[in-house]
Amino acid sequence: MGRGSREELTYRGTECVYTPLRWESTTSVTSRNRIWLASNFWVCLFDLELGKLVWLTAYGGRRFRTVPKLRQIKQALGYHPRYYSKFNLIVHLFPEWDGRLSILGFQADNGTPKWRTLLPIPRPVWFTENRATQVDLQTEEMRVLLAQREDSVTMVLNRHSRLTESWTGEGEHFALPKWGARIDLIEFDPRHGHIVRKRVLKDAFVPFEEETRFVGLHVVRNRLYDMDWSQFRSKLLSRLKGEQHSINSHENRLIVVSKARKSTHVFLQNRTGAAEEIRYELPIRAKHRVHARSSNGAFTIQIDETRIVPLDSAGKPMGEVRVLPYIYSHVRSDDHTMFVHCSGHVNKLYCFDLRNMCEKFAVPVQALGLFQCKASGDVYVAEAGRLLRYTAGGRMLKSIRCNLSTLIGVGEGYMLAHVQKIIADGGYESAVYTLPRAGSQRLHQDSS
């Protein structure tokens, strides 16, 4: 590994956005060098190339505080906005104070609100418990997401029975209820926000990895289904083995990883049906969970919190990487290089050569996140106090000193960073800057 160059960034100028902002609860969507940020209170657009805040629209979204547990919608994933280029539209979801859900449509270029639809509190179903067994437990688990469709706005309610059990100090045990799941689909007119049609998929479940970018893949009783959006109904793709299925997809390719008693089942298929399916069994036993990941167009399998099995372009395993104490995130920068961020009592950044499964280097970092630029393949490591840049092959290019709080996102030529400055009275000032991805070290900022 090369030592790289060391540079320092200085921050000057006015703040870009109203302060203080809760950036830890912010989600984003990027299109080239434009990035839309959304929270429970506002939506805004940054132009990374010009280095300025284009618009910010605030609204009256609130967090759940007094909502009964019977109706509470889980916010584990946040509410990811969606950009619809065909309609020049940004769609965002946020909860009302009484537990209802609002879906808003904004003009993507200027932030003008176009429509707002208020949805009622979802009704209990057969697997919803009558009352919360404990303060921290829910009567059911529900996540809200927007389907990855360009021609229509579709909201998905992924509902299933409670997955958390606990023991009280008095020895009382709150066991898991009988498993139940279903998916509620609601399609909206992107021009006016009116509800076009609804559909309920009984016993259907969207695994966690597919939730952030739902394209229609779901599981019903060990069967894999895909959505036929033209007919607004599901179609059977294949039967699955094992249990605790994890789904991931990239373009038209999909992978399903299933936990078995003594091994791990792997299933790959082309969603269009143009290629034959691939099935095989890995002789690796998972104690807890298996995860299917997708990075830079390549699939990887994560087994528990310590093992990663990268797959080649044909879907075959290339070997096994084991990292302790537990894997926080990883990125496949190219066909032969993988970065792994290890967290726990030891925080390190590993780089592996997948041709021989050897470790290239390991450096101690307190990483805030791994980001990859799709244009160049470079990998950026955001760390408190500095920003590291590596090539796709694992060579270190730059170590830039900066007081980053969060690296929010990476565009084609620039990065968006959040800087939090502590002030004298114990509070903080919050600012957002765009940093050049490569070359010049001048700092873009909003001068308004």
Average pLDDT over residues 122-143: 74
Residue 127, pLDDT score? 87
User: What is the CB neighbour count within 10 angstroms for residue 161?
Assistant: 19
User: Per-residue pLDDT for 318 more than 90?
Assistant: yes
User: Per-residue pLDDT for 153 more than 50?
Assistant: yes
Residue 426, pLDDT score? 53
Strand partners, 83: 90
- Closest residue by Cα to residue 28 from 12, 45, 11, 15: 45
Average pLDDT over residues 14-31: 51
CA distance 79 to 58: 16
- Closest residue by Cα to residue 323 from 345, 340, 298, 300: 340
Q: Are 206 and 234 in contact (CB under 8 A)?
A: no
CA distance 350 to 307: 13
- Spell out a b/e string for 231-247, using b for 16 or more CB atoms within 10 Å of the CB, else e: eeebeebeebebeebbb
Local confidence band at 219 (pLDDT 50, 70, 90 cut-offs): very high
* DSSP, res 311: B
- Where helices occur in 70-227 by DSSP H, the ranges are 208-211
Paired sense of beta strands 218-220 and 204-205, if any: antiparallel
| Rounded alpha-carbon distances, angstroms, from residue 347 to 146, 306, 310, 352, 361 | 34, 14, 22, 16, 14
User: Per-residue pLDDT for 309 more than 60?
Assistant: yes
Residue 5, pLDDT score? 41
CA distance 405 to 422: 11
- Spell out a b/e string for 182-213, using b for 16 or more CB atoms within 10 Å of the CB, else e: bbbbbbbebeebeeeeeeebeebbbbebbbee
DSSP letter for each residue of 97-150? TTS-EEEEEEETTT--EEEEEEEPPPPP-TTS-SS-SSTT--SSEEEEEE---S
Return the residue matching tokens 């075959």. 316
User: What is the CB neighbour count within 10 angstroms for residue 252?
Assistant: 13
Residue 130, pLDDT score? 74
Residue 288 CB partners (closer than 8 Å, separation 6+): 304, 305
pTM, to two decimals: 0.81
CA distance 82 to 43: 12
User: How wide is the angle at C-alpha 283 spanned by C-alphas 279 and 287, nearest 5°?
Assistant: 110
Tally the residues of the chain: 448
Residue 81, classed as helix, strand or coil, is coil
Local confidence band at 116 (pLDDT 50, 70, 90 cut-offs): very high
Strand partners, 434: 416, 444
Residue 364, pLDDT score? 86
Q: Are 247 and 207 in contact (CB under 8 A)?
A: yes
Strand partners, 141: 160
Lowest-confidence pick of 111-125, 242-256, 339-353, 360-374: 360-374
Average pLDDT over residues 383-390: 77
* DSSP, res 73: P
CA distance 53 to 446: 6
Q: Are 219 and 227 in contact (CB under 8 A)?
A: no
Residue 326 CB partners (closer than 8 Å, separation 6+): 305, 306, 342, 343, 344
Could you read off the pLDDT of 398-438 as tens digits, one per residue? 777 766 666 677 776 666 776 665 555 555 555 666 666 54
Q: Are 265 and 279 in contact (CB under 8 A)?
A: yes
Residue 62, pLDDT score? 46
CA distance 370 to 348: 12
CA distance 423 to 445: 20
Percent of the chain at pLDDT exceeding 90: 27
Could you read off the pLDDT of 165-210 as tens digits, one per residue? 666 656 666 677 788 999 999 999 999 999 999 999 999 999 877 7
Q: Are 29 and 44 in contact (CB under 8 A)?
A: no
Could you read off the pLDDT of 249-298 as tens digits, one per residue? 888 889 999 999 889 999 998 877 655 788 999 999 898 889 999 888 88
First vs last C-alpha separation in the chain:
42
Structure tokens of 51?
């280095």
